[in-house]
Amino acid sequence: MQDSQPAGAWARPIPKAEIHLHLEGTIELPTLVEVIQRRGQRVDRAARERLAGLYSHRDFLHFLENFRTLCGSLARPEDYAVITAALSDRLRDESVRYAEVFCSPGVLALSGLPADEVLDAVSHTARRRAAEGGPRLRFLLDGVRQLGVGAQEELVELADRSRRYDVIGVGMGGDEKSLPASEFAGAFREARRLGLRTTVHAGEFDGPASVRQAMEILEVERIGHGVRAVEDERVVRDLASRAVPIECCPTSNIRTGVVRSWADHPLPRLVAMGVRATLNSDDPALFGTSLVGEWETAHARLGMPVDAVVRLGMETAAATFLPQEDKDRLVEEIREAAVRLGVGV
C-alpha cells in the first residue's frame, strides 16, 4: 500500500491495544452532557457552551484546571458507568481489542465518592460491554506524587483489595519534581510483593534523571511518557538495554508543551535507538485525539512509515500486562491484519 494513503483508511480496522489512557480524560462533550442530564439537570445552550470551554486549554495549568472541573462533574458511581460505556464504544469503533485504563482514586476522594462503588460500576460496565463484543478493559489505579508517600501506600492497599474489579496494578502521575522517587521506593516494592503491576509517569515534565530513577529506584515495569530520556544518551541506552517500554502519547506531549513542535518530537529517534516505544492517547477527549489519531500522527506528522507505525502497535500489545499467551495472540492478530491490508511488517 502507499504511505500517502490516509491513516484512517488502513489504521482503523487493524486490531490494537492501548496502555496509557486516563478514564476521566476520555469524557467527550456529548458524554458529559449525557451524564449531567441523567441526573435530571437541564443543559441549555449557555451551559453547553461553558462545558465546551473545558476542551480548550491555554496552557498546561489551564488544562489541569479544566480537568479538575470536568472530574467534578462526576457525582455518582452511575456517572462512571456512563463514561465507561462510552469509552468502550469508542475503543470498539477503533478496533481496540484490549486497554489498560488509569482510574484516579484521588479524584474520587475530592468528589466524596466511595472508591469501591465507583470501581464496581466501572468494572461491571466494562465486562458487560466486552461480553457484547467490545474491548477487554482492565484498570490501573493512578496516584498523585505531590500527595505524598502515605497516599501512594494507601493506593497500593486499595489496588490489592480491588482485584475483583479487574484492577491489576498501580501508577503514579502528578508533579515529577515535587518529591524524589526514593521516597516512593517502599510503596512500589510493596506493590511488586503483592503481585501488582507497576508503571510511573516520568520523563514528561522532568528530565532524563526522572526516567533513570523510575528504572533504578522504583524498578517499574513501564514508564509513562518517558520522551525526555532523549536528552541523555546514556539513559536512552539503559532504557533500550533493560527493554523497559515507554508509553508514548505524542499529541499529549504537544498539547501540554512537553515537546515544542512535531518536528522536535523524539519518538522516531527513540525507536531508532532501540527503545521499546508504544503508542497511546493519554487524555484523548481533552487533547482532541484518539488512538487511530495517534497512529495517523505518527505517520503524517512524525514521518514514520506505515509499517513502522504498525510495529509500534505490535510493541504496545507486547508491553501490556496480559499473560504471555494473550500478548502473543494479539500481536499476531495485528500482524495478520496489517498483511491483509498490504502493510508489510
Cβ atoms of 79 and 23 within 8 Å: the answer is no
What are the sequence ranges of the domains in the chain? 7-340
More confident residue, 64 or 125: 125
Q: What is the band of 252 on the pLDDT scale with cuts at 50, 70, 90? A: very high
Instruction: Indicate the Cα dihedral angle 184, 190, 196, 197, nearest 10°.
Output: 40
pLDDT above 50 (res 3): no
Q: What is the mean pLDDT of the chain?
A: 94
What was the pLDDT predicted at 8? 61
User: How far from 84 is each of 34, 73, 77, 150, 195, CA to CA, in Å?
Assistant: 13, 15, 11, 29, 26
Lowest mean pLDDT among 29-43, 63-77, 184-198, 240-254: 63-77
What was the pLDDT predicted at 77? 94
Q: Record the cell numbers describing residue 236, joined without a space.
A: 536512552
Could you tell me the pTM of the whole model?
Answer: 0.94
The one catalytic residue in 24, 94, 100, 204 is 204
What was the pLDDT predicted at 156? 98
pLDDT above 50 (res 1): no
Rounded CA-CA distance 118/139 in Å is: 12
pLDDT above 90 (res 341): no
Q: Record the cell numbers describing residue 231, joined without a space.
A: 536528552
What was the pLDDT predicted at 57? 85
Each residue's pLDDT tens digit, 260-319: 999 999 999 999 999 999 999 999 999 999 999 999 999 999 999 999 999 999 999 999
What was the pLDDT predicted at 43? 92
Q: Record the cell numbers describing residue 3, joined without a space.
A: 504511505
User: How far from 288 is each of 14, 93, 140, CA to CA, in Å?
Assistant: 21, 16, 23
What was the pLDDT predicted at 4? 44
CATH numeric code, 7-340: 3.20.20.140
What was the pLDDT predicted at 2? 42
What was the pLDDT predicted at 326? 98
CA angle 76, 80, 82 (to 5 degrees): 110
> Does the active-site annotation cover 204?
yes
Q: What is the DSSP letter of 201?
A: E
DSSP 228-296: GGGG-HHHHHHHHHHT--EEE-HHHHHHTTSSS-GGG--HHHHHHTT--EEE--BSHHHHT--HHHHHH
